[in-house]
Chain A
């Protein structure tokens, strides 16, 4: 096992069960995992094995039934719901299979949204947004959309964008608040070959250029093999980790 003192994320004996009335449906059954800063980690496994559930818990979207998740040695599930929301806002960037852009807002507004939310939290963990002024947010959103190659689509609504473009907007949005971790759940699952490649290129570029930590859940073996490590999830447990 790698040196846990350097770990960005440390997951210990994580359990998650869903309940259907009295019946318990265990999904995660004791997951232990450590993620290093700047790592590109792929989680693979069959459908329904709990990949997404694991990602949701790592992203503080869902609470585990048992076990702990430490970020920089702090157990995030010790935090109340409100602080957990703030944690998501400041530390995590999500990219989903479906872009989940807000249909009533333009690409630029969608990207800026998490910074607008951050203003409410004071934005004090976020150097770029410390002043939290509209112009700084705006400039950052412009910069990110340019970075994902969509400078010409700033005022387009999601319905006016192609699938690949939407996913790139979603990646730009995930980066808005300088998160420590990008969590991607089948980011190319819904895209054609060409768009997929553009999106993946973006993620790898991010990881290589700025050392952005990424955790990607995927079915795609070829994609997984490009990661630093592959975590195989079988029956709610990690069966093997390949480098």
Chain B
């Protein structure tokens, strides 16, 4: 064995001969481990949120939307859709009439909300957004039995069916089969020109849209594209084309190609595209900022742990000053002495980092595994005797043979793991009443392996740097003074 390893490993294992691993090394290792575990967990949660949101966005939305400036209507929809679908990266494209309207339920006289209306061709829309998987009820906008029923009960003309965001319907207090009135525009009163009368259309709620994505569930309504065209008197004209790509990440490049592929005359207007990334850019930017800040703060925690290592080493160097003097007398070089303490600190850093990674990943797994756990009381029942055992053993472990020590440590790790298994469960946002805010039911966890590797390297590097000063200090002790040190 190399000399430096030989000495460093001995220093690591026994400060006082009776302790199995010196207590101070354990504390230092624990510090690094906690820092690394929390950073892995925190980033896994933030990643989970970002990933969860992205998944929902991509399930509900088109990857690219093509419109004209000012949302002007244009014709030649099928031709233009053909041009877009001819592109390699495009899976499907769907014609849409997109607008905002004021709404109120049939028996109300007051406008209650302004909602987004998406006029769609169901079959085409299905290919772009997977629309029907989120609808509870019918998507038969023209011939749903609910329309016929409503027509019988009401004196008003029914324009068609509407699928309404589930929370929007809750807010308006309407259910399937009820009539919702849409105010598209106001018209001058024929007799009294200073007043306006609303141009009303009646739609029957035939289904509810439940995507768990607050934006849609709170403020969207879907109608048939022909009904939408009728609302605006724009037969056979649309104002947006929604496009799905083979890979959502290709959106920016694909958007440029789509703009080039579709020709518009100057009279029609200037085409523009928006990718899903652009639409949600502020949100993703905020998440990224949050992640960066988390990494910075957690790196500071690891830095604190590294200071802990540095002070451990400085204390060790102080305590071992005479030994350093002896080793120098026996002919070891400054470099070797420096190596001894650097190895000692690096081993603490490495063990802490690896333990922290293990703990962090275990917590991530426990927080995302929905298996049924034993009662938390079991953790308590196991923890108390085991903790007592640890405390007693730490004081007088020396007489035990090595095999027993290893067995005991393995038993403690198993007990600790069992305790965690009982205690740590997925966190339900629904139970905390937060599912509306975060648009998810369970705290999402997604481990980024690249980041785990990165934080391991970073943590080890910080710990290694922390060893430099104490080790240098030890190497530069004057051997004669060191020998006389009390």
Residues of B participating in the A interface, judged by any CB pair closer than 8 Å: 2-3, 6-7, 10-11, 14, 17, 322-323, 325-336, 478-480, 483
Contacts and interface: CB of A to CB of B under 8 A. Distances in A.
Contact of B328 (A85, A159, A173): A85
A102 B333 contact: no
Given A96-B483, A105-B10, A116-B6, A89 B323 contact: no
B107 to A, nearest CB: 88
A114 B480 CA distance: 18
B330 A89 contact: yes
B383 to A, nearest CB: 33
Contacts of A96: 483
Contacts of B327: 102, 113, 117
A100 interface: yes
Contacts of B328: 61, 85, 88
B226 to A, nearest CB: 88
A100 B325 contact: yes
Contact of A113 (B2, B17, B330): B330
B114 to A, nearest CB: 78
Contact of B331 (A56, A86, A101, A104): A86
Given A85-B328, A103-B323, A105-B10, 16 more contacts: A56-B480, A61-B479, A61-B480, A81-B334, A82-B335, A85-B331, A85-B333, A85-B334, A86-B331, A87-B331, A92-B331, A113-B330, A117-B336, A120-B333, A120-B336, A173-B330
A62 to B, nearest CB: 5
Across the A-B interface, the 8 shortest Cβ-Cβ residue pairs: A89-B331, A88-B331, A114-B330, A104-B10, A85-B333, A100-B326, A117-B332, A116-B3
Nearest to B10: A104
A56 B481 CA distance: 11
A165 interface: no
A159 B332 CA distance: 24
Interface of A: 56, 59, 61-62, 81-82, 85-90, 92, 94, 96, 100-105, 113-114, 116-121, 157, 159, 173, 177
Contacts of A59: 329
Nearest to A104: B10
B483 A117 contact: no
A81 B476 CA distance: 11
B332 A104 contact: no
15 contacts: A62-B480, A82-B334, A85-B333, A86-B331, A92-B331, A100-B329, A100-B483, A101-B326, A102-B7, A102-B327, A104-B11, A113-B327, A117-B336, A120-B2, A120-B333
B471 to A, nearest CB: 17
Contacts of B332: 85, 89, 117, 120
B322 A100 contact: yes
A88 B17 contact: no
B457 to A, nearest CB: 29
